[in-house]
């Protein structure tokens, strides 16, 4: 990755000659789409996360949308989700005409609070879309108990959490539908791409049909047995994904090292709250390094200094219910989810990627300290 001297980018992919080799093989094979490399990518991925079935798709958003369809989410249904996430977490069911209901997050983990979910259930509630925010596993068992008690579907948006572990097992192995994403800032990338894992063969077959224009298993190219989409990933991207999965353990370990260095470097800085720590039940897969500062004015002062010093940053994450299209369409306002809104006002993503070196991290810490 080319880097401007002195500048520290926010994120970047981690690639080597192996991806080039695998992509070249696909190009030379002539099987650029609907070929065997996609099948291999899916098999390898399913094995890595401990799920029996995986369906590769064109993006994380596409995967979430498809799971909303396989769970029968439709017009007029209410779906409970977290406000502290990327917009696609809510968009995926709005595409099907469902209405978002935001339940506030836990202030420590920034994941959806199961008690707030339970309080938001109405006779129209159809599903819960939960998120493992910044790679930290959400309270899956509690959410599953609530979903079972009320007959709701539960979808896990694990787009930021490949490699995370909940109660000793990788996310994806818990028995419910989960979605992973491969944009270049993620733990692994395919450029654009995503993966849906499921524990139901029937659902897996349906996902494969839906992503492929609704074609049936045995039908022809021009036979469409249901309303489908072109949400396919191609074999070129799948080849990149295989190269990335082959070094997943190395990537996860390197990212954990980067996070550990930040924790040490920032430990003495007053008013800089690090991401919440792991415990026996929750082991984070490091996606981003987001700190909470004391207030919005401090964050904006830090950002002004970062801009001047060419240090990458982002205001991860704005609360979804306060996005302009959400306010306009549903009338959402400040005060609906105070914990999420408070976090949104003062959280800041620092430069974070697999190959981030110690010297750059020291510079980030120094500039941050000078701005405070
Ligand atoms: C929590 C979450 N959900 C969904 C997505 C959507 O993934 P994609 O960009 O691959 O559509 C992302 C990606 O940024 C994400 O972080």
CA of residue 323 to ligand 1 center, whole Å: 16
Q: How far is CA 112 from CA 24, 308, 321, 337, in A?
A: 43, 35, 14, 11
The helix/strand/coil state of 102 is strand
Please report the pLDDT score of residue 177 as a whole number: 95
Q: Is 282 exposed, middle or buried (0-12, 13-18, 19+ CB in 10 A)?
A: buried
Ligand 1 atom 7 nearest Cα: 60
Cβ(88) – ligand 1 distance below 6 Å: yes
Query: In terms of Cα–Cα distance, which of 348, 338, 350, 345 is closest to 107?
Result: 338
Cβ(130) – ligand 1 distance below 6 Å: no
On the question of pLDDT at 268 being above 90, the answer is no
The pTM of the full predicted model, rounded to 2 decimals, is 0.97
Task: Summarize pLDDT for 133-156 with one digit per residue, the tens.
Answer: 999 999 999 999 999 999 999 999
Please report the pLDDT score of residue 329 as a whole number: 97
**Residues near 216 by beta carbon (within 8 Å), at least 6 away in sequence:** 209, 223, 225
CA of residue 186 to ligand 1 center, whole Å: 9
Task: Summarize pLDDT for 304-358 with one digit per residue, the tens.
Answer: 999 999 999 999 999 999 999 999 999 999 999 999 999 999 999 999 999 999 9
Cβ(354) – ligand 1 distance below 6 Å: no
Task: Summarize pLDDT for 66-91 with one digit per residue, the tens.
Answer: 999 999 999 999 999 999 999 999 99
The pairing of beta strand 282-283 with beta strand 165-166: antiparallel
Cβ(181) – ligand 1 distance below 6 Å: yes
Cβ(183) – ligand 1 distance below 6 Å: yes
DSSP 130-177: EE-GGG----HHHHHHHHHHHT-EEEEE-TT-TT-EETTEETT-SSS-
CB 33 within 8 A of CB 234: yes
**Residues pairing with 99 in the sheet:** 78
Pocket probe for ligand 1: among 13, 56, 86, 184, the residue whose CB has the most ligand atoms within 8 Å is 86
CA of residue 61 to ligand 1 center, whole Å: 6
Cβ(316) – ligand 1 distance below 6 Å: no
Cβ(60) – ligand 1 distance below 6 Å: yes
On the question of pLDDT at 171 being above 60, the answer is yes
**Residues pairing with 53 in the sheet:** 198
Q: Once rounded to an integer, what is the mean pLDDT over residues 58-72?
A: 98
The pairing of beta strand 289-292 with beta strand 347-350: antiparallel
DSSP 215-284: B-SSS-TT-BSS---B-PPPHHHHHHHHHHHHTHHHHHHHHHHHHHHHHHHHTT-TT-BPPPPP-SSEE-
Cβ(85) – ligand 1 distance below 6 Å: yes
Query: In terms of Cα–Cα distance, which of 265, 286, 67 is closest to 275?
Result: 286
Q: Examine residue 87 and say whether the peptide bond preceding it is cis (omega within 30 degrees of 0).
A: no
Q: Once rounded to an integer, what is the mean pLDDT over residues 40-46?
A: 98
Ligand 1 atom 8 nearest Cα: 60
On the question of pLDDT at 218 being above 90, the answer is no
Please report the pLDDT score of residue 217 as a whole number: 81
Please report the pLDDT score of residue 58 as a whole number: 98
CA of residue 86 to ligand 1 center, whole Å: 6
**Residues pairing with 38 in the sheet:** none
CA of residue 219 to ligand 1 center, whole Å: 32
Task: Summarize pLDDT for 271-313 with one digit per residue, the tens.
Answer: 999 999 999 999 999 999 999 999 999 999 999 999 999 999 9
Q: How far is CA 175 from CA 73, 140, 195, 316, in A?
A: 19, 11, 15, 30
Cβ(160) – ligand 1 distance below 6 Å: yes
CA dihedral 245, 247, 260, 367 (to 10 degrees): -90
CA of residue 368 to ligand 1 center, whole Å: 28
Closest-lying ligand 1 atom to the alpha carbon of residue 183? 10
Ligand 1 atom 14 nearest Cα: 86
Cβ(159) – ligand 1 distance below 6 Å: yes
CA of residue 88 to ligand 1 center, whole Å: 6
CA of residue 362 to ligand 1 center, whole Å: 29
**Residues near 176 by beta carbon (within 8 Å), at least 6 away in sequence:** 140, 144, 154, 155, 156, 199
Q: Is 149 a catalytic residue?
A: no
CB 295 within 8 A of CB 274: no
Cβ(287) – ligand 1 distance below 6 Å: no
Pocket probe for ligand 1: among 13, 60, 187, 237, the residue whose CB has the most ligand atoms within 8 Å is 60
**Residues near 57 by beta carbon (within 8 Å), at least 6 away in sequence:** 63, 66, 193, 194, 195, 196, 207, 211, 231, 232, 233
């Amino acid at each position: 990755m080319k880097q401007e001297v002195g500048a520290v980018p926010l994120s970047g992919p981690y690639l080597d000659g192996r991806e080039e080799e695998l992509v070249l093989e696909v190009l030379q094979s002539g099987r650029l789409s609907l070929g065997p490399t996609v099948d291999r990518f899916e098999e390898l991925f399913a094995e890595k996360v401990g799920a029996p079935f995986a369906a590769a798709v064109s993006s994380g958003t596409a995967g979430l949308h498809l799971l909303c369809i396989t769970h029968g989410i439709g017009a007029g249904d209410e779906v409970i989700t977290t406000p502290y996430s990327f917009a696609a977490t809510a968009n995926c069911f709005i595409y099907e005409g469902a209405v978002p209901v935001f339940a506030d997050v836990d202030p420590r983990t920034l994941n959806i609070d199961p008690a707030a979910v339970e309080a938001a259930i109405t006779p129209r509630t159809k599903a819960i879309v939960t998120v493992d925010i910044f790679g930290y596993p959400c309270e899956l068992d509690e959410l599953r108990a609530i979903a079972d008690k009320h007959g709701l579907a539960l979808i896990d948006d694990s787009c930021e959490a490949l490699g995370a572990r909940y109660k000793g097992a990788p996310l994806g192995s818990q028995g419910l539908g989960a979605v992973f994403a491969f944009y270049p800032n993620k733990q692994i990338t395919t450029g654009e791409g995503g993966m849906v894992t499921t524990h139901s063969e029937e659902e897996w077959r349906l996902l494969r049909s839906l992503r492929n224009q609704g074609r049936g298993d045995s039908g022809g190219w021009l036979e469409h047995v249901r309303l489908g989409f072109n949400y396919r990933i191609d074999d070129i991207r799948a080849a990149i994904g295989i190269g990335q999965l082959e070094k997943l353990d190395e990537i996860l370990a390197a990212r954990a090292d980067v996070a550990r260095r930040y924790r040490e470097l920032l430990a003495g800085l007053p008013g800089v709250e690090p991401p919440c720590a792991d415990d026996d039940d929750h082991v984070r897969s490091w996606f981003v390094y987001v700190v909470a500062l004391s207030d919005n004015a401090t964050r904006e002062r830090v950002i002004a200094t970062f801009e001047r010093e060419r240090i990458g940053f982002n205001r991860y994450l704005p609360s979804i219910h306060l996005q302009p299209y959400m306010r306009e369409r549903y009338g959402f306002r400040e005060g609906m989810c105070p914990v999420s809104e408070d976090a949104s006002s003062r959280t800041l993503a620092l430069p974070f990627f697999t190959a981030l070196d110690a010297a750059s991290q020291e510079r980030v810490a120094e500039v941050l300290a000078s701005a405070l």
